[in-house]
Amino acid sequence: MSNTPENKPIGPFTLTPARIILLAFGILALVSIFGGIMGGVSNVNDLRNARDAALSSSEAPPSEASAP
């Protein structure tokens, strides 16, 4: 018998530094794809502006809202 340690094969679910980096890149890609599908940052700002406009018009008295 030899005194050198035997190299065990790496399991499929063992987290190595390279696998951790790949997981991080995958998560960043998913976040980017999801953000793009949802319309991005500009869409969120447009929705906020529309909400604020709707709230301010609903708070106005009825006589001002129906004026031509």
Per-residue pLDDT of the chain (68 residues; tens, 9 = 90+): 567 778 888 899 999 999 999 999 999 999 999 988 888 777 878 889 999 999 888 775 555 555 55
Residue pair 65/57 in contact by the 8 Å Cβ criterion: yes
Q: Which of 13, 37, 35 is nearest to 23 (CA)?
A: 13
Show the tokens assigned to 63: 């006589």
Listed by start position, the domains of the chain span 17-57
Model pTM?
A: 0.52
Q: How much is the pLDDT for 30?
A: 96
* Measured distance CA(38)–CA(32) in Å, rounded: 10
DSSP state of 16: -
